[in-house]
Amino acid sequence: MSTTSQEQTRPFEWFRSLGQRGRRAFAGAFGGYGLDSYDFQVLPLSLVAITAYFSLSKPEAGLLTTVTLVVSAIGGALAGILADRIGRVRTLIITVVTYAVFTVACGFAPNYETLLVLRAFQGLGFGGEWAAGAILVAEYSKPEYRGRAVAFIQSAWAVGWGLSVIVYTVVFSLVDPDIAWRILFWTGALPAILVWYVRRNVTDAPHVTERRTASKQRGSFKAIFQGPLTKTTLFAALLATGVQGGYYTLATWLPTFLKTERNLTVVGTGGYLAFLISGAFIGYVCGGYITDMIGRKKTFALFAILSALLIVGYINIPTGANNLVLILGFPLGFCASAIFSGFGSFLAELYPTELRGTGQGFTYNFGRAVGALFPTLVGFMATSWGVGGAMVFGAVAYGIAVLALLGLPETLGRELT
């Protein structure tokens, strides 16, 4: 066996291959996305308490998530342009500060309307962070390792989600729900620690910075809708819509489903979500290795189909069979998360350096915005179908993702130039 082959089979060789600067960039992007997840998840976890506190209808409750995701499309698109114009790291810092400040502010909201506005502003930072962080790591990664390197960034979502569930379980077990949801939002100040680290230790990939700054076309929305990139942008946006429509249906309504239709307590809900999140973390990691083995498109198709089937199975588990709800939560979390593992590498490989931030930021966050309609749709339909029955729209979203793959090329092994 050659030395190169031996190196490629060593555990975490992808991480060693990043070099010192790349490893620091990885730490910054991982922390940014993990805390991004934490600040997002405090809303779904608090949704029952917030609904009761402000006497909201289910559609109004669903709108809190939808407005976050819709505005995140604007934030992601703007962050993509910034990443191409002022650099990946500076954009990363701006987005982290934005989502942290407005998450804390949500905890002080005196009424539903104020909370809705503050949550919308939180979406600006929430939408932009992933694009900057994923591109930063992708540009430090070798082609043969890029899928798993960026997938580990995606796995930070499960880490942040898990941390939020732990804090939620503790806070809501000790404090009255009317104040507990506010405390949970106030803990969104945690990202301040990360900003200090990124400012001191993280820099853009030098070879990419040189090419990016030399281009006259960098950061242009018009450019990603010209020539061959037009088809790429449209189908990539449709892919992101399907995947995120399915995921955010689960993320928004699953805690409510467990409490209201499976009659679980706060601690019980936390326990079931812990099982789901464990599957999610392993799914993110394994999905990265799979996308480097079989390709980006096959990985998306595989996990979209499995996720759709598992949603249908999960919501149709008979009453009283809560052990089966627990068991099925693991593969559901695995598949719904593994599908995201290829996004960072796939979208980065679809666009040239000078348009990479713009293309990735627009397509991924356009998907968030349109996919955000699914949680609101579930909220409206839940009044007649029940939360579980309405969650079938998540399966429909995954079907859209499979169709979008027909218009996109395979990019496995593509160099980032």
Ordered by where they begin, the domains of the chain are 20-199+222-407 (1.20.1250.20)
Give me the pLDDT at residue 1, please: 43
Structure tokens at 339: 């599908």
- Arithmetic mean of pLDDT, 162-182: 93
333-383: per-residue pLDDT in tens?
899 889 988 888 899 899 988 889 899 889 988 887 788 788 778 778 777
Q: In sequence order, what DSSP letters do the residues of 125-177 get, joined into one string?
A: HHHHHHHHHHHHHHHHS-TTTHHHHHHHHHHHHHHHHHHHHHHHHHHHHHS-H
Residue 108 DSSP label: T
Chain position carrying tokens 């096959």:
298
Q: By the 8 A CB rule, do 296 and 346 touch?
A: yes
Chain position carrying tokens 């979209």:
304
Higher pLDDT, 74 or 66: 74
- Arithmetic mean of pLDDT, 128-139: 87
Measured in residues, the chain has a length of 417
Higher pLDDT, 256 or 166: 166
Give me the pLDDT at residue 315, please: 74
- Arithmetic mean of pLDDT, 19-24: 93
Give me the pLDDT at residue 271, please: 65
Give me the pLDDT at residue 317, please: 73
Give me the pLDDT at residue 62, please: 78
Q: pTM of this prediction?
A: 0.77
* Position 385 confidence tier, pLDDT thresholds 50, 70, 90: confident
* Position 260 confidence tier, pLDDT thresholds 50, 70, 90: low
d(CA 34, CA 194): 10
270-284: per-residue pLDDT in tens?
666 677 778 888 998
Higher pLDDT, 396 or 271: 396
- Arithmetic mean of pLDDT, 107-113: 96
d(CA 209, CA 25): 14
Residue 263 DSSP label: -
210-239: per-residue pLDDT in tens?
776 666 666 678 889 999 999 999 999 999
Structure tokens at 269: 């809900």
